[in-house]
């Protein structure tokens, strides 16, 4: 019988937008440039911007191809290796660059989607264990834990799992196994809700979980994400789809009833 549900973050609980993405990116570039200058590393601003874009693309390719992720400190060290010969040896610079990963979303936080607290509260009252499984980019899990406190929803969650903290990137089954252990549940007792077929649905179904495809914010995503999902849905069809949070509650209850009937 189903007992636990986990959620993806971006475009599931938080409908990010391109304006915020652009703001965070500009903040990181500007502050990285400033910190490097403070320590005597000279860069052309446009050239630095180009090198950061190349670095981000290489990191993302490794994540997607290898199913791995990097701790916040590892990510900073890799960036300093890409930009300098000896920057990783400078702890002050390391810690300064680390703030460019952690701080932008705290200064300009994304809005939590309307209806999320009500959904989480309803699920908690219905006896569900609730978790989060989120891939991270430059923003580490530490920052999101702070945001969950600000949003007033952290108490609804039994566990929060972030890819940088477990060093596994969805759809890598390892990140789902790690969450199973934390929630003390079996694969047959869990369902995952997320917007990304190639990461959320494929990862959950390969782990032996049920999966609900959340479609409310698909129009806000980048085009390459939608193209990837068009290819992935053939091999990873979701068990059900939900267009809003009330429908998530209904579909979870439907899956739970079906799992109860199937129980010996």
pLDDT number for residue 230: 85
Whether 120 has a pLDDT exceeding 90, the answer reads: yes
- Mean pLDDT for the chain overall: 95
Residue 21 has pLDDT above 80, yes or no: yes
Give the per-residue pLDDT at 264: 62
Q: What mean pLDDT comes out for the span 19-31?
A: 95
State the Cα–Cα distance between residues 137 and 222, nearest whole angstrom: 15
245-248-253-257 Cα dihedral, nearest 10 degrees: 170
**Residue 263 in this model has a pLDDT that exceeds 70:** no
Domain boundaries, the chain: 4-16+111-262, 18-107
Q: DSSP states of 45-92 as a string?
A: HHHHHHHHHHHHHHHHHHHHHH-B---HHHHHHHHHHHH-SSGGG-HH
| 64 pLDDT above the threshold of 90 | yes
Unique residue bearing structure tokens 């929060």: 160
pLDDT, average across residues 195-208: 97
Confidence of residue 156 (pLDDT cuts 50, 70, 90): very high
* pTM summary value: 0.94
**How far is 209 from 252, CA to CA, in rounded Å?**
13
Whole-angstrom distance between the N-terminal and C-terminal Cα of the chain? 10
Query: CA–CA separation, 123 vs 34, rounded Å?
Result: 46
pLDDT for residue 199 is more than 80 = yes
Q: Which of 237, 200, 243, 235 is nearest to 219 (CA)?
A: 243
Cβ(150)–Cβ(156) under 8 Å?
no
Q: Which CATH architecture has domain 4-16+111-262?
A: 3-Layer(aba) Sandwich (3.40)
Q: What is the pLDDT of residue 213?
A: 98
CA atoms of 236 and 251, how far apart (whole Å): 18
In 3D space, the residue among 32, 33, 12, 10 whose CA is nearest the CA of residue 20 turns out to be: 10
pLDDT score of 219:
86
State residue 96's pLDDT score.
97
DSSP string computed for 91-111: HHHHHHHHHHHHSHHHHSPPP
* Three-class DSSP category at 215: coil
- Whether pLDDT at 83 is above 80: yes
């Amino acid at each position: 019988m189903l007992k636990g549900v986990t959620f993806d973050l971006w475009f599931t609980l938080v409908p990010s937008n391109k304006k915020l993405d652009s703001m965070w990116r500009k903040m990181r570039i500007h502050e990285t440039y400033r910190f490097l200058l403070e320590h005597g590393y000279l860069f052309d601003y446009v050239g630095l911007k180009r090198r950061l874009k190349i670095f981000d693309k290489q990191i993302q390719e490794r994540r997607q191809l290898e199913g791995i992720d990097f701790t916040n400190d590892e990510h900073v060290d890799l960036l300093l290796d890409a930009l300098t010969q000896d920057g990783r040896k400078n702890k002050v610079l390391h810690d300064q660059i680390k703030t460019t990963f952690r701080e932008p979303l705290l200064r300009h936080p994304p809005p939590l989607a309307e209806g999320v607290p009500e959904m989480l509260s309803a699920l908690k009252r219905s006896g569900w264990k609730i978790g989060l499984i989120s891939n991270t980019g430059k923003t580490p899990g530490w920052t999101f834990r702070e945001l969950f406190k600000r949003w007033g929803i952290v108490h609804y969650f039994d566990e929060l799992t972030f890819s940088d903290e477990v060093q596994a990137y969805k759809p890598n089954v390892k990140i789902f196994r790690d969450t199973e252990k934390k929630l003390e549940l079996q694969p047959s007792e869990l369902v995952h809700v997320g917007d990304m077929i190639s990461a959320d649905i494929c990862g959950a179904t390969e782990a032996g979980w049920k999966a609900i495809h959340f479609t409310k914010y698909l129009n806000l995503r980048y085009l390459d994400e939608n193209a990837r999902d068009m290819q992935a849905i053939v091999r990873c069809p979701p068990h059900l789809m939900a267009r809003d949070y009330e429908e998530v509650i209904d579909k979870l209850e439907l899956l739970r009833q079906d799992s109860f009937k199937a129980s010996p």
